Amino acid sequence: MENLQAILASPTPVLIDCFATWCGPCQMVPPILKEVKDKMGEQIRIIKIDIDRNQQLAAQWQIASVPTLLLFREGKLIWRQSGVVPAHQLIPLLKQKI
Active-site annotation holder among 7, 9, 20, 23? 23
State the amino acid at position 36 in one-letter form: V
Reported for 31-39, long-range contacts at CB under 8 A and 24+ positions apart, including other chains, are 32/84, 32/85, 32/86, 32/87, 32/90, 35/87, 35/91, 36/87, 36/90, 36/91, 36/94, 39/87, 39/91
pLDDT category at 98 given cuts 50, 70, 90 is confident
Q: Which residues pair with 77 in a beta bridge?
A: 72
For the domain spanning 4-97, the CATH number is: 3.40.30.10
Q: pTM higher than 0.85, yes or no? A: yes
Q: Does 18 qualify as catalytic in the annotation?
A: no
Q: Does 26 qualify as catalytic in the annotation?
A: yes
pLDDT tens-digit profile of 10-49? Answer: 999 999 999 999 999 999 999 999 999 999 999 999 999 9
**CB neighbour list of residue 52: distance below 8 Å, 6 or more residues apart:** 20, 21, 22
Active-site annotation holder among 15, 16, 18, 26? 26
